[in-house]
Amino acid sequence: MTLKPKVLRFESLPSTNTELARLASEGAAEGLAVVADEQTAGRGRLQREWSSPKGAGLYFSILLRPKIPTEHWPLITFMAALAVSDALTEATGLQTDIKWPNDLLVNERKICGILAEAIETHPGRAVILGIGINLTQNAFPPELANVATSVSAATGARAERETILAALLSALSRWYALLSEPEKIVAAWCSRSSYADGKLVQVSNGDEVWQGTTRGVERDGALRLGTASGEIRLVRAGDVYSVRSSS
């Protein structure tokens, strides 16, 4: 699968994902991408807010029409995390950690969030892949300062949005070509995530909270959680929090 990105730029949008979903429903081709200087209704998973002030972040969405079995679609988020990780290293020298399922961390703080949304369109099912990268500390409100960071804070240098965007487009094209080989995506993801194996975590899906130790990732992207009773629980959606061991 070859991806040929074509970027449309906007000063301000409610959400790059929403705008691209609209274009996708009108039949836009795979690879169409949208970038905005600000989002007035940027969102995360479960309709949470993604703080997106003007000029403070890279707010980006790209349209994918993947020809892979639906059960492997969660790997699109993994593929995107690998691409952002490459792009940040190439463009800024930063080394990132990946937190299941959709966060990139630097020094245990979130620098990027990924939101992949599947939609029905006339030419078939599509994915709107949204990526938000914090460029400066203005990208998020002060109350998130303990859990969020930005390229400029982490590198001590000015964050060049266009350099990061160019690196992201080529990294996405590279990793997208591997999407039909789930083992490779999962293996690469696990090698770059401190959360993949042996991490004591709490997982919350909104209703329930489980504690356990991570035991790798299934071929479809589900997180394997080893619980105290010795069973393996497969987690397909939720938020993961690192727990410091008391020993």
| Residues within the interface to ligand BT5 (CB under 6 A) | 15-17, 39, 42-45, 48-51, 59-61, 102-103, 110, 113-115, 130-132, 134, 139-140, 144, 148
CB of 137 to ligand BT5, least distance (A): 10
Output 9 or 227, the one with its CB closest to ligand BT5. 9
State the Cα–Cα distance between residues 63 and 130, nearest whole angstrom. Answer: 9
CB of 8 to ligand BT5, least distance (A): 13
Shortest Cβ contact with ligand BT5: which residue? 113
CB of 229 to ligand BT5, least distance (A): 28
State the Cα–Cα distance between residues 1 and 66, nearest whole angstrom. Answer: 8
Output 53 or 216, the one with its CB closest to ligand BT5. 53
CB of 58 to ligand BT5, least distance (A): 8
C-alpha to C-alpha distances, 187 to 12, 15, 138, 207, nearest whole angstrom: 38, 32, 35, 30
Output 7 or 184, the one with its CB closest to ligand BT5. 7
Output 136 or 180, the one with its CB closest to ligand BT5. 136
